[in-house]
Structure 1
Amino acid sequence: MTDADAFTLVSRALPDGSVVGPPQLVASQGGQNLSPDLAWSGAPEGTRSFAVTCYDPDAPTGSGFWHWIAWDVPAATTSLPAGLEREHPGIRQAVNDFGNPGYDGPEPPAGPPHRYVFTVHALPVEHLDADPAAPHVAARFAIFTQQLASTSFTATYQVSEEHTRG
């Protein structure tokens, strides 16, 4: 087993393969718009901080939809609570594709289910050289080009045609 194989991520609110429930959905979907709790273990040697992302690869944009990009999570941290504040001390969060800093939950168009990929990235730096006010692609570039390892789980959510006619 390699270090990357030992790196795992779980959530009580969103077990891998589950359907996103009201606490994590945006208000327009009847939700509370709270980020899920996350807990990870087995980070590789040399980890000095973590980043967290949530991405919908099924969004009809040609490039997916980014719901959450956070970084500078201290290396001693192994979990985040549900409902992490948009301005959490010590953790930097980019403006997501909704135009807000921090987490915003699913709000897909009616149609087939969308996947929401939550990932924790182990980084070899204590502080990522990225500006939260800049477009999040800069932070994502820094995260993805430097990561030592990552671990993910996927949840789904679907809006039915009937829901939109309501």
Structure 2
Amino acid sequence: MLDRDPYKDLPDLPTFTLTSENLEDGGKAPTWMLSKLFGIEGGEDVNPQLSWFGFPEETKSFVLTCFDPDAPTPSGFWHWTVSNLPVSVTSVAKGGAGALGGVKHLNDGGTREFLGAAPPAGHGAHRYIFCVTAVDTEELDIDENTSPTVVNFNLFFHGIARAFLTVTHEEK
């Protein structure tokens, strides 16, 4: 499962830095980041703190996503998508998804907020890829009803750099 790179067929963009006070890139997802909505014991559906810097000067907005490419579907699973974040927004507090500006899109669980990790028991480790994409326009021509897939299709044309942070979780 962990061999699929969902970004490999997209344009090769410059990278910048995405960090977290509560996550280690390549580490395990903490219990509070797991999904209460999907019945994971101890889960709280709380987004991690994230900060990003070193993006191109011509950046006019950001798109923030969390994606599980290892979900047992042909299309993965979108846990979080926020578009049209102003260029002045360069961080989100732990649990601060509700206060984050921009346009909040429905995740694959049917909510507009962060949906925690919830791989099926016994399915193996899943990756939760947080990505911040620097965008060349202040607003993509989309609204809150636009799916995460279509938001990311727009980034094919308007993304100018990306930053990643990935954690894993496995339900035994």
For the criterion TM > 0.5, the same-fold answer is: yes
Indicate whether 1:92 and 2:117 are aligned.
no
Q: Work out whether residues 131 and 139 of structure 1, in 8 Å CA contact, stay in contact via their aligned partners in 2.
A: no
Q: Work out whether residues 92 and 100 of structure 2, in 8 Å CA contact, stay in contact via their aligned partners in 1.
A: no
2:118 corresponds to which of 107, 114, 118? 107
After superposition, residues 127-142 of structure 1 pair within 5 angstroms as: 127-142=139-154
- Tell me, in whole angstroms, the C-alpha distance in 1 between the residues paired with 2:19 and 2:110: 27
Q: TM-score, normalised by structure 2?
A: 0.85
- Tell me, in whole angstroms, the C-alpha distance in 2 between the residues paired with 1:95 and 1:36: 18
Say which one has the larger Rg: 1
Q: Identity, % of aligned pairs?
A: 39
**Unmatched runs of 5 consecutive residues or more in structure 2:** 1-12
- Tell me, in whole angstroms, the C-alpha distance in 2 between the residues paired with 1:120 and 1:85: 14
Give the letter for the 1:15 counterpart.
E
- Tell me, in whole angstroms, the C-alpha distance in 2 between the residues paired with 1:144 and 1:73: 17
Equivalent in the alignment of 1:23: 32
2:135 corresponds to which of 114, 123, 143? 123
1:148 corresponds to which of 153, 160, 163? 160
Instruction: Name the SS for the 2:14 alignment partner.
Output: helix
TM superposition shift of 1:89: 6.0
Indicate whether 1:14 and 2:23 are aligned.
yes
Give the letter for the 1:96 counterpart.
N
Indicate whether 1:73 and 2:85 are aligned.
yes
- Tell me, in whole angstroms, the C-alpha distance in 1 between the residues paired with 2:170 and 2:86: 34
Q: Work out whether residues 121 and 148 of structure 1, in 8 Å CA contact, stay in contact via their aligned partners in 2.
A: yes
Give the letter for the 2:66 counterpart.
C
1:49 corresponds to which of 61, 66, 78? 61
Change (3 A) 1:128 1:23: same
**Unmatched runs of 5 consecutive residues or more in structure 1:** 161-166
Q: TM-score, normalised by structure 1?
A: 0.88
1:61 corresponds to which of 57, 62, 73? 73
1:4 corresponds to which of 11, 14, 17? 14
- Tell me, in whole angstroms, the C-alpha distance in 1 between the residues paired with 2:147 and 2:131: 19
**CA RMSD in angstroms, aligned pairs only:** 1.6
Change (3 A) 1:51 1:85: same
Change (3 A) 1:89 1:14: closer
- Tell me, in whole angstroms, the C-alpha distance in 2 between the residues paired with 1:120 and 1:114: 19
Equivalenced residues, count? 156
Give the letter for the 1:106 counterpart.
A
Change (3 A) 1:65 1:141: same
